[in-house]
Each structure stands twice: as structure tokens, then as C-alpha cells.
């Protein structure tokens, strides 16, 4: 499916309108304080993740190198800047920086899978209705009742422990909720009078879906996506916590488990778990702020409400 | 009045005998139309011709099938039986015609909140992939609908304008298609009293200027009196009285019409007749005259005195002429 125009219209005015729309969108987004902060926080983490090799040497994750260099265990940030070390003499800063890559990547990729599957199936099911709806919804329910953790454990053991499998597991288990939500919204939008008006004007189904249904469910899809990112990040954390994460890569989830399992709290080694925890918190917050702002802009009726 | 040419060549062979009658003096011919929802017979045998430049008001209580009737004509509602003929072919099911357009009761709901006024009015043109200067046509349509200067409205959103202006936008969006027939579903029911008159005047002026025909659904007889040339009174899926507006209002032939009129505040000379009971369930239409369980003529015993009570209870009535162009479906006044 492409979001290309179903209708022919003169090229130039259309592009002009789109350019103006984009410009006013950017301006509106920046004018909103939550959106601005969310975007800045997210950008900071994206830059951090991209610049990982520059700001934190990967050798900080290597226990053999650390031992050879006489790096102390459980060193506090003052002893071993910037964030101290863990029980294996690894740099917490390096774990934090490299872990942000995995967390962001898994969060975004799993969300793309979830939202793409969920919204396509939801829109098709809700709009076409009838037999298509019945078949798709039974299919969705089948996925909905699959218990998440057993599936994740089985898939992880069958397919091996890797980032891609985690993305696959999160995607496969979380799209049904999105599909049902989108379908419900499509069902209500479909009943709105403006859809009747479009039909009176001779609109095709494609036109109605792209011009009337999609614009009115996009806010919901967007809100759902911004919720799906933090949930995916948290799910990745959970799976890592249960030892189903990728053993090759550091992630925030893995840092938290290891801190938990090795008694960081008892040892008051706050520097071990706080960065990963705050990282998760900030990324989740950033997505929520951005999502809210996007929704506010996408729905002109919410304007002026803060 | 604008001359309307009919496209004789596009007609189906199957309704050849009827199409001969559909000439330029009719913008829609409804014949024995029925729309059923399962057991509920919302529209149950309606025939109506509408001429160019004419305003027909469909009046009746909620549930009388007025809205279903015009939705069927618009092609928004599958037809169970009967036919809806338009010059140039039938309009049934999914085939919709640009020359039949609709104005809705709730203009707020009829406008997509995420489209600008420009996009809304231009939508029909875009759907039909019409060439030419879209903006110019949009501005012209807005101006004709009384939104001037139109340029000020182009880039606004529906929530930024008033209810009356929204209804004007809906009308502009319909008029840009240059329809021959405009179906209006309670066009002013959701508007402020002060704005109703303006919208009605606008509709009347469109009829006078373009030869457009309007079928307006309303439960308000005063409105019907204001803009309609003819009034069709509907009861439980049927037209029970049809005639020129003045005649129907001044000399109602059907007891249901009389009852409706008697409760209009301005009609002081009439004795109020409050109908007992709700509109019956369209899934269980009474035998005989479908109005008889609520009919004041039957209830007062007048029908029995006239010796027609058995017919009222057992024999279906059809529209019969009382005077030229004025007909009613009632045993008592036949």
C-alpha cells in the first residue's frame, strides 16, 4: 500500500500545499514545549547511540582488557569516571552508551512491525467488514491469546538468542492489540456523516480510506505507536532480564538484570543501575511527549488545549 | 429554468417501458420503492416524481421512512424493490450520480474535521477528476452558497466556522457538482432559529437561479410551508398525502396530515388532535390502512358511522386523487 494520491490533480498547487503544510507542521511542533523537550531528549539519545564508538571505547566492555589494565571492580564514578565499573570491571558508561543502541533499535523496529501489521489488518478488517472482518478478527484473536512469555521463550530457544528474534517476538505478539484498536476506530469513523457525503460525491473505497478513514485514525495509530515504542523497549528489557536477550550485545535490560543478580543494590552501587534505568525512563518519556504533540497537531480540534 | 437534456442512449433495455416516460420534465421518478431492513419495512411502496425547479417537502414523524427514502435515492441505501429512475439511467446500489447531491442534517458531522474548506468543496471535482481551475470553481461555489469573500474561508477548518457557515459549505460542496436534484435531510434542524431562514432562502434562491429540484426531509410543517411547492406526507413508509403545499396545508385530506397540522402553534383555528401512541413498529405494520390504530376518525367512531370501519381495519388504501395534483390515501375522505 502506498499513500500516493488516488486522485488526479494539478501538480503544482498540490506540492505547494504540501510544502506549506510541512512548514506549518514543523513550526507548530517546535512551538509546543512538550514536543520540543521530547524531541531534544530523543535526539540526544539518538546522537549518543550513533556516536557510541566516539564517546565510549568498546574495549570498556571487555573483561579481559579491563583485568589487564587493572581496572577495579565496583569502582564508583569518582574512582573510575564517568560512571564507574561493575562486578566484572566493565565500564558502566560504555554499557550505557552501547546499550542505548540496542534499546532504541529494538524499540523502533518492533514498533514498525507492530504498527504496520496492526493498522493494515485493522483498517482492512474494519472498513471492509463482513466476512473479511470475521476471518481477520478470528486470525487476530488467535494471535491475541498466544501467551507472550512462553512464545518468547520457545522462539528464543528455537531461533537462537538474537536482537532480530526479540523484534520478531515483540512484533508478532503485540500487533493484535493495535489491530483491534484500529478496527474499532475505523468502525466509528466509517459511520460518520462525512463518509456518506464522500460516497454521495461518488468516492471510491480507496478514496474514502485514504482521505477520510486514515486521516481520522492516524492520531490513534500515532498515539499507539508512541506507546508501542516504550512497551517494546520495556519488553526487550524483560526478555533480557529473563536471560532471553542477545548475549553478544549490551542492552539496558541486560545491565539492569546483571545489576540485580549481582547485588548492586545491596552494595549500594547505584551507578550500575541508575544510568540504564534513567535511560529507559527518558526515552519512554521522550516518545510519549512527541506522540502527544503529534496527536495534537494531527487533530485540529485539540488545538488550544494544553 | 435551465434546460436539462436527458441521455436517452444510456438506458437499460430492461426498463424500457418506464424510461419512455422519463423525459426532461422529471429529475427523478420513484416507482413502488421499498427499502426493508430485515423485517422492518422502512420504505414500503413509495412512488414520487420530482420536476425540475420544484421543491418537494417530505414531512412526517421520526421513523416514517423520510430519510431512508432520500438515502435510497442518493444510492446510500440498497433498494429492496421498486425503481429510482433518473434521466440517463437508474440509480441503485453503488452507482452514484453527480447530478444527485445531498445536504445533511448535521453539517458538523458531514465535514471531515481534517480537511480545509477548500479540500471539502473541491472533493467532488477531484473524485471526478475534473480539469480546469479548481480553485476558481471552489470560490464560485462558496460565493453562490453565500460565503463571501470566499478566499477568507478556503484555508479554514470546519471547526473554525459557525454552524450556519458549515451548512453553507456542505451546500457549496454539493452545488459544485452542478446537480439537478438536491436531497436535503432536515437541512436546518440542527441550526439556530436565526440562521434557519437564511439557509432556506439560500436553497430557494438556488432553485430559482439554476432550475435545481430539491427534496427536503423535515418534520417541521412551517418549513415545508416556507419553501416547498409540493408536500408529501409520509406515514410508516408510505406517502399518505401528496399535493401542492397550499392545498395540503389549507385543505388536508388525510387525518394524519390534519393531526400534524393541528399541533402547529400558528394553526389556532384548528382543534388540537393529539395522536395516541408512538409510531408503530415498521416491522409489524398494521393490516388495512396502516394509520387506523391511531386514526382519530376510527377512534371517534366516525368511521363506524360512515360504515367504513371494516375497510379501515382490513383493506389497504392507495393514493387517490382528490383534486388535480392533490391525492390522499384514506377510506374516509375518498
Contacts 24+ apart (CB under 8 A), A296-301: A296/A32, A297/A25, A297/A28, A297/A29, A297/A32, A298/A215, A298/A218, A298/A219, A298/A222, A298/B114, A299/A219, A299/B113, A299/B114, A300/B113, A300/B114, A300/B157, A300/B159, A301/B113, A301/B159
Report for A101-110, A133-142, B93-102, B276-285: range of highest mean pLDDT? A133-142
- Out of A228-232, B9-13, B185-189, B275-279, pick the least confident: B9-13
Which residue, among B118, B122, B123, B125, would best test binding to A if mutated, counting the most A CBs under 10 Å from its CB? B123
Mean pLDDT (chain B, rounded) = 84
**Pairwise CB contact (< 8 Å): A13 & B97:** no
> What number is the average pLDDT over the span A270-287?
88
Is A43 within a domain? yes
Helix H or strand E segment including B102: strand B100-103
Asked if B98's CB is within 8 angstroms of A201's CB, the reply is yes
> What is the number of alpha carbons within 13 Å of residue B29 lying toward its C-beta?
17
- Quickly name the fold that domain B8-99+179-328 has: Rossmann fold (3.40.50)
CB atoms within 10 A of CB B221: 23
Domain-embedded: residue A19? no
CB pairs under 8 A between A and B: 80
Chain A interface disruption, residue of B108, B114, B117, most A CBs within 10 A? B114
Q: Which domain holds residue A281?
A: 38-302
Supply the mean pLDDT for chain A.
82
Helix (H) or strand (E) holding B43: strand B40-50
The larger pLDDT score, comparing residue A1 to residue A178, is at: A178
Give the count of domains, chain A. Answer: 1
Residue B76: name the closest of B95, B59, B60, B89 by CA.
B95
Instruction: Give chain B positions within 8 Å (CB) of A301.
Output: 113, 159
Q: What is the pLDDT of residue B49?
A: 93
Which of A42-46, A252-256, B310-314 ranks highest by mean pLDDT?
A: A42-46
Interface contact flag, B129 A7, Cβ < 8 Å: yes
Residues of B in contact with A200 (CB under 8 A): 74-76, 96, 100-102, 174
- Nearest by CB to residue A200, choosing from B101, B113, B128, is B101
pLDDT in tens, A29-75: 888 888 899 999 999 999 998 988 887 777 777 777 777 777 777 77
Query: For residue B310, is pLDDT > 70?
Result: yes
Q: To the nearest whole angstrom, how far is the Cα of A29 from the nearest Cα of chain B?
A: 17
Determine, yes or no, domain membership for A8: no
Residue B149, preceding peptide bond in cis (omega within 30° of 0)? yes
**Does the structure show a pLDDT above 90 at B111?**
yes
pLDDT in tens, B21-44: 455 678 899 999 999 998 899 999
The nearest CA of chain B is from the CA of A223 a distance in Å of: 17
Residues of B near A (Cβ–Cβ under 8 Å) read 74-76, 96-98, 100-102, 104, 106, 109-115, 123-124, 126-129, 134-135, 157, 159, 170, 173-174, 177
The pTM assigned to this predicted structure is 0.76
Which pLDDT band, with edges at 50, 70 and 90, does B207 fall under?
very high
Q: What is the CATH number of the domain that holds A234?
A: 1.10.3720.10
Provide the grid cell at B235.
406515514
Report chain A residues whose CB lies below 8 A from the CB of B134. Answer: 9-10, 13
Cell numbers representing residue A9 in the block: 490533480
Domain ranges for chain B: 8-99+179-328, 105-178
Report how far residue B116's alpha carbon sits from residue B122's, in angstroms, rounded to the nearest whole number.
10
A298 → chain B, closest CA residue: B114
Residue B273 half-sphere exposure, CB side, CA atoms within 13 Å?
Answer: 16
The CA distance from B73 to B97, in Å, is 10
Res A77 pLDDT > 80:
no
Q: Which of A7, A200, A296 is most worth mutating to test chain B (most B CB atoms within 10 A of its CB)?
A: A200
Taking a C-beta distance cutoff of 8 angstroms, is the pair B199, B25 a contact?
Answer: no
Closest to B66 (Cα-Cα) out of B242, B244, B185? B185
pLDDT of residue B110: 93
Contact by Cβ (8 Å): A250, A99: yes
Could you report how far apart the first and last alpha carbons of chain A are, in Å?
35
Q: How confident is the model at residue B168 (pLDDT cuts 50, 70, 90)?
A: very high
Query: What's the Cα-to-Cα distance from A62 to each of A56, A65, A68, A258, rounded to whole Å?
Result: 12, 5, 10, 15
Amino acid at each position: 500500500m502506498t499513500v500516493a494520491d488516488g486522485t488526479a490533480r494539478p501538480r503544482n498547487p498540490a506540492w505547494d500545499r504540501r510544502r506549506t503544510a510541512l512548514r506549518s507542521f514543523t513550526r507548530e511542533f517546535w512551538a509546543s514545549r512538550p514536543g520540543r523537550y521530547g524531541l531534544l531528549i530523543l535526539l540526544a539519545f539518538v546522537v549518543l547511540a550513533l556516536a557510541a564508538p566516539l564517546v565510549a571505547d568498546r574495549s570498556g566492555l571487555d573483561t579481559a582488557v579491563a583485568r589487564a589494565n587493572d581496572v577495579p571492580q565496583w569502582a564508583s564514578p569518582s574512582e573510575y569516571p564517568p560512571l564507574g565499573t561493575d562486578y566484572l570491571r566493565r565500564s558502566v558508561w560504555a554499557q550505557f552508551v552501547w546499550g542505548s543502541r540496542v534499546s532504541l533499535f529494538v524499540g523502533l523496529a518492533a514498533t514498525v512491525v507492530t504498527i504496520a501489521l496492526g493498522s493494515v489488518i485493522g483498517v482492512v478488517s474494519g472498513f471492509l467488514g463482513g466476512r473479511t472482518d470475521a476471518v481477520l478478527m478470528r486470525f487476530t484473536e488467535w494471535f491475541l491469546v498466544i501467551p507472550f512469555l512462553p512464545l518468547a521463550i520457545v522462539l528464543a530457544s528455537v531461533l537462537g538468542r538474537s536482537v532480530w528474534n526479540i523484534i520478531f517476538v515483540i512484533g508478532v505478539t503485540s500487533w493484535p492489540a493495535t489491530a483491534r484498536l484500529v478496527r474499532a476506530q475505523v468502525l466509528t469513523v466509517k459511520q460518520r456523516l462525512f463518509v456518506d457525503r464522500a460516497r454521495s460525491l461518488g468516492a471510491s473505497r480507496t478514496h474514502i480510506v485514504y482521505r477520510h478513514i486514515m486521516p481520522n485514525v492516524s492520531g490513534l495509530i500515532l498515539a499507539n505507536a508512541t506507546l508501542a515504542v516504550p512497551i517494546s523497549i520495556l519488553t526487550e528489557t524483560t526478555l533480557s532480564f529473563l536471560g532471553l536477550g542477545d548475549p553478544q550485545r549490551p542492552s539496558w535490560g541486560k545491565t539492569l538484570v546483571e545489576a540485580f543478580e549481582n547485588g548492586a543494590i545491596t552494595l549500594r552501587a547505584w551507578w550500575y543501575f541508575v544510568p540504564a534505568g534513567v535511560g529507559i525512563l527518558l526515552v519512554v518519556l521522550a516518545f510519549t511527549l512527541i506522540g502527544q504533540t503529534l496527536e495534537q497537531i494531527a487533530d485540529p480540534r485539540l488545538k488550544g488545549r494544553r | 429554468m435551465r434546460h436539462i437534456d436527458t441521455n436517452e442512449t444510456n438506458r437499460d433495455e430492461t426498463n424500457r417501458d418506464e424510461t419512455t416516460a422519463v423525459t426532461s420534465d422529471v429529475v427523478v421518478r420513484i416507482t413502488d420503492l421499498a427499502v426493508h431492513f430485515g423485517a422492518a419495512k422502512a420504505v414500503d411502496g413509495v412512488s414520487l416524481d420530482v420536476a425540475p425547479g420544484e421543491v418537494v417537502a417530505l414531512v412526517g414523524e421520526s421513523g416514517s421512512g423520510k430519510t431512508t427514502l432520500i438515502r435510497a435515492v442518493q444510492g446510500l441505501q440498497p433498494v429492496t424493490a421498486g425503481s429510482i429512475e433518473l434521466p440517463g439511467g437508474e440509480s441503485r446500489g453503488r452507482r452514484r450520480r453527480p447530478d444527485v447531491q445531498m445536504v445533511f442534517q448535521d453539517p458538523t458531522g458531514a465535514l471531515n474535521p481534517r480537511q480545509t474548506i477548500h479540500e471539502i468543496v473541491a472533493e467532488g471535482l477531484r473524485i471526478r477528476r475534473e480539469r480546469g481551475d479548481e480553485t476558481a470553481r471552489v470560490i464560485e461555489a462558496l460565493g453562490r452558497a453565500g460565503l463571501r469573500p470566499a478566499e477568507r474561508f478556503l484555508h479554514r477548518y470546519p471547526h473554525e466556522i459557525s454552524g450556519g457557515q458549515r451548512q453553507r459549505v456542505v451546500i457549496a460542496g454539493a452545488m459544485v457538482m452542478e446537480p439537478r436534484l438536491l436531497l436535503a435531510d432536515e437541512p436546518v434542524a440542527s441550526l439556530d432559529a436565526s440562521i434557519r431562514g437564511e439557509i432556506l432562502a439560500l436553497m430557494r434562491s438556488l432553485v430559482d437561479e439554476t432550475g435545481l429540484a430539491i427534496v427536503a426531509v423535515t418534520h417541521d410543517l412551517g418549513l415545508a410551508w416556507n419553501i416547498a411547492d409540493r408536500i408529501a406526507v409520509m406515514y410508516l413508509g408510505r406517502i399518505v398525502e401528496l399535493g401542492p403545499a397550499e392545498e395540503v396545508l389549507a385543505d388536508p385530506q388525510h387525518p394524519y396530515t390534519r393531526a400534524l397540522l393541528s399541533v402547529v402553534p400558528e394553526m389556532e383555528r384548528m382543534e388540537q388532535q393529539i395522536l395516541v401512541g408512538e409510531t408503530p413498529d415498521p416491522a409489524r405494520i398494521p393490516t388495512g390502512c396502516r394509520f387506523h390504530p391511531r386514526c382519530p376518525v376510527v377512534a371517534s367512531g366516525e368511521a363506524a358511522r360512515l360504515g367504513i370501519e371494516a375497510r379501515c381495519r382490513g383493506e389497504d388504501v392507495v393514493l387517490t386523487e382528490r383534486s388535480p395534483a392533490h391525492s390522499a390515501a384514506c377510506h374516509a375522505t375518498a
